[in-house]
Amino acid sequence: MGYVAAIDVGGTTMKGGFVTRDGTIHAFERRPTPRAEGPARVVAAVSAFVADLARPRDGERPLAVGLAVPGLVTPTHAVFSAAFGWRDVPVSAFAAGVDVPVALGHDVRSAGEAELAYGEGGRDVLYLPIGTGIAGAVVLSGELYGGAGGWAGQIGHIPVRPGGAACGCGQRGCLAAYASGGGMAARCGVDGGMDGGVDGGAGGGAGGAEEVLRRVLDGDARAGRVWGEAVEALALALATYTLVLDPAAVVIGGGVSQAGEHLLGPLREALAGRLAFRRAPQVRASSLGARAGLMGAGLLGWGVVPGAPGRR
Ligand SMILES: [Zn+2]
């Protein structure tokens, strides 16, 4: 059978495990990302995780390693991450001493690959994980679109309020400042409202959003206002996306998608309300849920296994 080792590095936690060709995850493990200790410590922690997973167990070892990280990523370098503060980290720094092939890729885009390969998919879809931050995987005519410089899909930094709240990316009024788990938590005064930078672990946890939702359901007025503003901000950004690219569906993933219909119901209504002359795309939760990130890292790994069928 065989398996690859997969690691998905988020802003708060790193998820790792073994992934078979059909996307099944085994030996799932979660470790904290030592983000506050600086980029060198994050690289060292990832490298230790990779080394542990690449080690033979019961005479069997992974065929390859797939490593998904946020920010700007090429197959050879983690070029830039505002969340971690690293620049131009070569793939070898994450995989010292590992003698199986190692594939490096972008967290949200590889999660989007997993949605295409194992999820409900679709040819023209926006896959939008909302976690501590927000990013998107843009699927056009069945292919992931990266853009000219690899920056496509930065939905979280679409301006939704001119001159609005400061965002960790350096702009003001970004969607992420209002609708990410971190942004909502910060606006509600809940712990977990971290500054997500450009790439703050969009595929990661809900970043305090669970607590915000709990307060909404308890009837807390401030939390209710923050939640409503988050839905409005998402609807505005998605209306823009819809008018430009005409997706069939928007698939919401990440920790915040666990709010389910508390988020999706009002969001469908608000999006439809912003579109006058055309129908809104379908808005639904990812069927892969929180597994998409690790399954995507697994696909990266399978992409470099000699003799394995190609991705998708
Ligand atoms: Zn921003």
Please report the pLDDT score of residue 196 as a whole number.
45
| Same fold for the pair 4-111+291-302 and 121-287 | yes
| CATH dotted code for 4-111+291-302 | 3.30.420.40
Question: How many A from CA of 165 to the centre of ligand 1?
Answer: 9
Question: How many A from CA of 233 to the centre of ligand 1?
Answer: 13
Question: How many A from CA of 154 to the centre of ligand 1?
Answer: 9
Please report the pLDDT score of residue 284 as a whole number.
93
Q: In angstroms, rounded to a whole number, what is the distance separating the alpha carbons of residues 110 and 90?
A: 19
Question: How many A from CA of 158 to the centre of ligand 1?
Answer: 7
Please report the pLDDT score of residue 42 as a whole number.
96
Which CATH class name applies to 121-287? alpha beta
Question: How many A from CA of 96 to the centre of ligand 1?
Answer: 34
Instruction: Write down the domain spans for the chain.
Output: 4-111+291-302, 121-287
- CB-based burial, 144-169: b 16+ in 10 Å, e otherwise: beeeeeeebbbbbbbbbbeeebebbb
Question: How many A from CA of 260 to the centre of ligand 1?
Answer: 25
| Surface-to-core class of residue 219, CB atoms within 10 Å of its CB (0-12 exposed, 13-18 middle, 19+ buried) | exposed
Question: How many A from CA of 35 to the centre of ligand 1?
Answer: 19
Question: How many A from CA of 12 to the centre of ligand 1?
Answer: 18
Please report the pLDDT score of residue 207 as a whole number.
63
pLDDT tens, the chain, 312 aa long: 799 999 999 888 899 999 999 999 999 999 999 999 999 999 999 999 999 999 988 889 999 999 999 888 999 999 988 778 899 999 999 998 899 999 999 998 899 889 888 887 788 999 998 987 888 999 999 998 989 987 889 999 999 999 999 988 889 999 999 999 889 999 998 875 544 445 554 544 566 788 888 999 999 999 999 999 999 999 999 999 999 999 999 999 888 888 899 999 999 999 999 999 999 999 999 988 888 999 999 999 999 998 876 544
Question: How many A from CA of 178 to the centre of ligand 1?
Answer: 10
Question: Would you say 126 and 251 are in contact if contact means Cβ atoms under 8 Å apart?
Answer: yes
CA distances for 28 relative to 45, 46, 103, 133, 233, angstroms: 17, 15, 19, 23, 34
Question: How many A from CA of 167 to the centre of ligand 1?
Answer: 5
- Across 238-285, where does the E strand assignment appear? 249-253, 282-285
For ion ligand 1, residues whose CB falls within 5 Å: 157, 167, 169, 171, 174
Question: Would you say 23 and 114 are in contact if contact means Cβ atoms under 8 Å apart?
Answer: yes
Question: How many A from CA of 133 to the centre of ligand 1?
Answer: 9
Question: How many A from CA of 89 to the centre of ligand 1?
Answer: 23
Question: How many A from CA of 155 to the centre of ligand 1?
Answer: 9
Question: How many A from CA of 277 to the centre of ligand 1?
Answer: 29
Q: In angstroms, rounded to a whole number, what is the distance separating the alpha carbons of residues 280 and 267?
A: 11
Question: How many A from CA of 145 to the centre of ligand 1?
Answer: 20
Question: How many A from CA of 156 to the centre of ligand 1?
Answer: 6
